[in-house]
A and B are shown apart, each in its own frame.
Chain A
Amino acid sequence: MLDTLIAGLLRGNVYALGAVGISLVFGVMNVVNFAQFSFFGLGAMLAWFFVVKLELSFWIALPLVLIICALLGLVINISVVRPLAKYLPLAAMLSTYAVSQVLDNASQLAFSAQFRVFPEVLPTGNLHIGNMRIGTSDIVMLAVTAVVMVAMSLFLKYGKTGRAIRATAQDQEAALQMGIPVGPVQNLSFVIASALGGLAGIFFSLYIGVVNPTSGLNIGMTSFVAATLGGLGSLVGAVIGGFVLGIFEAFGIYAFGDAARQIVVFVILIVVLVVRPGGLLGKVPLISTEPLTGTFLGKGRPLRIPRWVWIAAIVVGGVVIPIVGSNYLLTTGTQVLIYAIIAAGFTVTAGQAGVLALGQAGPIAIGAYASAMLSLYAHIPFWFALPLAGVIAAVIASVLASPIWGVKGHYISIATLGLGIAIVAVIQLIVPRAIYDIPVPSIAGIPLSTPLAYYLIDFVVLMLTLLVMWRLRRSHLGRVISSVGSDEVAALASGVRVRDYKALAFAVSAFFAGIGGSLLAHQYTYIDTTIFTMLMSLLVVTIVILGGISLPYGAVVGSIILIGAMELLRFAPEWRIIVYGLVLILVVRFRPGGILVRNS
């Protein structure tokens, strides 16, 4: 009991430090900052480098790391986040994701991907509580967190700049009118948050002992959940969220096992959000600013597409490529097409209903497993398993997501992100082994397993998807869903049952995600749960945002660019992801509303 409590406290301590940084940036800029995750890994690797390679004292290395992280944070905010955050928090979020990719891979180039043993700068096992061994290191960590928190709250409460930060967090425009220099205040918050990220990274490595450039992702994710749990924007909430999550997680693991850890974390999150939609200490504004809605749609400059382009695109995609394309191009094409199907279906949720769900890997996995098991164990042919997989994904995902539709804004993104991860974790518990020998599609006993056959199947399914999307948008139902996304309050006032339509939109998206999952499963002929990662969910979201959030055909363009670019950049393997991230940042910088935008 006591052991578990202590483990939970120590773990909660790290989450709290990370969560404060995330909450701080969110409060003053209304941006979810994925780059914060990278500062954990970067801070840890820099500290390792200074102490082990340069043999500096830890107490010199510590401020150096904080300064480097702070400076990097400043550069990132000035060059990428602020220009976008001013009017498009969503684009800013996407670019922070790109920044995190660049940072992680730059760190990997500099320090290599190997796991390193973090130096033991303070004794880690010299004290005993019962059977549990803790060290001066743990006590110092707790003390530093306490000092940082107290200093931060005094600064925010009484300091002039601190008060300016709070004012900006409460109402940016009012703060500006009162003469508060909002720009510098945001820079300062970003700098503080980045330094705290670096600090959390160092603590985290001291605590677990080994570190590599990407090991911040997991702890970052959980800190993010902690910040959400406490109420985004509330610093005290972030601290409480961190400790609450750490302790509950520890007891959850003790009771249900580590395999259920992610399920435990996200069940806690979802329960808290259902009971208190603004988090433990967050306030729910009467009219919340949705990250995706209203004025957002009109912001981009539309690219008009002449009719001949459509015909040309269909001819190139459906006739020219299948005839002249090599198997390599066709196989790349199948991946592009499947992600286009998933993303096109997702535009109903993200674009029309205005819900930026971040967990599409969940329904994709349900579709893949359903289709694989139906055809393997029930001997149902692929052609029936495919639509069934879509239906099953839609039904299961809708049932699981049903409690969360009252949650608003960024909270719903985090809740769906959690849902996606939890779904995959549950599948892992139910189907612990990988699935092999999934039958390939066949007609009259002839297997359709060539790249050309896969390509054509995927192309037809994509055309059907686009047709359904087009019909849906023009129908009465589609307009109602769009009204929810454009102005939720107005829709509610007009008697639209907002929650139900959001759920419906999500079900439609989950259907197409399930179809995509089924196509993947039958083409790979093998699936295990490691395929359906958070990165897969983020890829779907990135495709949709890049293509123009509410345009199904934009998703096709997004998919060509994002999956095609990964192949195109093969000439520079080590720099591939860095270049990819930079390209993404540039595209978002110049087309913040997506590449193809249509005025609403």
Chain B
Amino acid sequence: MSRPIRRTLLASAVASLAVMTLAGCSLAADASSSSDSSANSTVYFGVSAAETGQYAQYGEQFKQAFDLAVEQVNANGGIDGHPVALKYEDSQSDPKQSVTVAQKFVADPDVILVFGDYSSAASIPASPIYTSGKLLQYGFNNSNADFTDKGTDYQWSSSTTTADEYVWEADYIKDQGVDSIGVTYLNTSDWGIPAYDAFKAEADKIGLKITDAEAVDPTSDDYRPSLTKAVAGDPEAFAHLGYGPDSAKLVTQLRAIGYKGTFYGGQDEQSFDETPDAEGSVIPAQFVASNPDEAVQAFVTAFQAKYPDDKDVTSFEAGAYDALNIAVAAAKAGGTTRAGILKGFQEIKDVPSVVYGSVTFDPQTRRILNPQFTPTILKDGTWVTLDK
């Protein structure tokens, strides 16, 4: 190809890419503005979550549970005859993308509620957009209390807060007759640091001595130097305030440096559950897959039947499964419009739940009333309830 021709071709290719970008954006928004309001029209919920990027593992788990729940809801007649469907948008849990996703959902009149996002950094910047669009943002997974505290009437969550969880944990540890504890916590503003603040305040109050507390970076791979320091004061037990994958690395290394006390920490998450040294870890849980309750077992069986390669049903899947059922209950109670489902959230009581047994929201805090924690211990890769 001669130079001028190639140059022209390239220039036009670039130009058309740019035009496509703009056209694509506006088309995408326009296409959705046509909605039909026939009697059995589909009810849409949006999902803003990470399908790619560093939090993609959670996006995958949510999607599995959502898809199962939608299938079951539709098999049982949907919402008063309206089938339910989900619109997924990948935000990578990046605020740059979660805000555009929020605008996209707000502009789509079919969408009456949005689940997500995963992290605070992606969820909270999107909140003002959902509020001004009068679209309910259901951060079913946001354990950061400020998601709802600093939010408006449109931010709801069925997650427990980190503060509740770690206050409970400090009390529980003390109840076990433990007087001193070594602590590591994630050095993150939206989760680890507030979690540690709550834990420490409660520990000071009840006389649980923290021999040393080390902030650790969730992306670190080697915690041995921090752990050596954290156990130097010979604490009776050890607590790590963190997620699954970092806890898996941490507990392995904690055992490698020869510490033998009980490990309070970890998460119901595949890699942690399968880590050999995680055996015997204790955490407060809401969802326990081994719970003999009929509803829980029905969910676990259905999940494993739908995803035979993924036997591990964790609290992430359970939380998403619950969230969809709660949204459906609210739409049944209040109506299948944005205003209707919001009204539904304020009214619904005792919605059956695989995580909590049943769920009622406090319309003031927009969190659930009286969440109960159950102490659980990891035995043979499965979390089982500990007798108090």
Contacts and interface: CB of A to CB of B under 8 A. Distances in A.
Given A117-B248, A574-B51, A568 B21 contact: yes
B26 interface: yes
Contacts of A449: 128, 132
A215 B128 CA distance: 33
Contact of A433 (B24, B194, B216, B224): B194
B67 interface: no
Which of the listed residues B56, B107, B190, B223 has the most CB atoms from chain A within 10 Å of its own CB? B56
Given A524-B99, A573-B88, A564 B52 contact: no
A299 B291 CA distance: 67
Nearest to B229: A254
Interface string B148-177: 001000000000000000000000000000
B130 to A, nearest CB: 12
Contacts of B256: 124-125, 132-134
Interface stretch (B270-278, B297-305, B327-335, B338-346): B270-278
Interface string B245-267: 10011001001111000000000
B95 interface: yes
Interface string B119-162: 11100110011001000000000000010001000000000000
A567 B121 contact: no
Nearest to A321: B22
A218 B258 CA distance: 27
Contacts of B99: 331, 335, 523-524
Nearest to B223: A258
B18 interface: yes
B18 A4 contact: no
Interface in B314-372: none
A204 interface: yes
Given A4-B225, A257-B214, A526-B124, A329 B189 contact: no
B221 interface: yes
B386 interface: no
B25 interface: yes
Interface residues of B, number: 82
Interface residues of A, number: 90
A486 interface: no
A377 interface: no
A114 B60 contact: yes
Contacts of B193: 432-433
Contacts of A253: 225-226
Interface string B197-237: 00000000000000000111101111111101100000000
Q: Chain A interface secondary structure, helix, strand, loop or mixed?
A: helix
A528 B121 contact: yes
Interface string A1-33: 001100110110000000000000000000000
Given A218-B221, A436-B146, A528-B121, A568 B189 contact: no
Nearest to A591: B10
A312 B8 CA distance: 20
Contact of B270 (A115, A428, A436): A115
B124 A212 contact: no
A136 interface: no
A595 interface: yes
A114 B189 CA distance: 24
A105 to B, nearest CB: 6
Question: B7, B95, B225, B244 — which one has the most chain A CB atoms within 10 A of its CB?
Answer: B225
Contacts of A105: 52
B295 interface: no
B225 A7 contact: yes
A22 B331 CA distance: 56
Contact of A259 (B25, B187, B222, B228): B187
A72 interface: no
Contact of B52 (A250, A325, A557, A577): A577
Contacts, number: 245
A576 B257 contact: no
Given A210-B248, A335-B96, A434-B120, A125 B187 contact: no
B220 A258 contact: yes
A249 to B, nearest CB: 8
A208 B57 contact: no
Contacts of A324: 26
A117 B26 contact: no
Contacts of B57: 112-115, 212
B134 to A, nearest CB: 13
Nearest to A14: B221
B37 interface: no
A85 to B, nearest CB: 21
A328 B96 contact: no
B190 A434 contact: yes
Interface in A132-157: 132-134
A212 B255 CA distance: 22
Given A117-B274, A301-B7, A567 B244 contact: no
Given A117-B248, A253-B226, A436 B150 contact: yes
A531 interface: yes
Interface centre among A3, A324, A326, A437 (most CB of B within 10 A): A326
Contacts of A451: 103
Nearest to A252: B225
A335 B223 contact: no
B110 interface: no
A531 B121 contact: yes
B286 to A, nearest CB: 21
Contacts of B150: 436-437
A32 to B, nearest CB: 21
B104 interface: yes
B245 A258 contact: no
B71 interface: no
A524 B219 CA distance: 25
Contacts of B121: 434, 526-528, 530-531
A259 B215 contact: yes
Contacts of B96: 335, 563
A258 B215 contact: yes
A560 B14 CA distance: 11
A566 B28 CA distance: 13
A327 interface: yes
A251 B225 contact: yes
Nearest to B105: A328
A235 to B, nearest CB: 24
Given A117-B275, A131-B258, A259-B187, A331 B220 contact: no
B43 to A, nearest CB: 21
B290 interface: no
Contacts of B229: 254, 257
A428 to B, nearest CB: 6
A402 to B, nearest CB: 27
B20 A568 contact: yes
A133 B120 contact: no
A320 B22 CA distance: 12
Contacts of B228: 3-4, 7, 254
Nearest to B231: A131
B388 interface: no
B90 interface: yes
A71 interface: no
Contacts of B252: 208-209
A86 interface: no
Interface string B52-73: 1110110110000000000000
B268 to A, nearest CB: 13
B255 A133 contact: yes
A567 B217 contact: no
B188 interface: yes
B248 A209 contact: yes
12 contacts: A115-B269, A133-B258, A208-B252, A301-B3, A325-B26, A326-B107, A327-B107, A328-B29, A564-B21, A567-B24, A567-B25, A568-B25
Given A8-B225, A332-B103, 15 more contacts: A7-B222, A115-B57, A115-B269, A120-B276, A134-B256, A257-B215, A257-B229, A258-B223, A258-B226, A261-B217, A328-B107, A330-B103, A434-B189, A567-B100, A577-B52
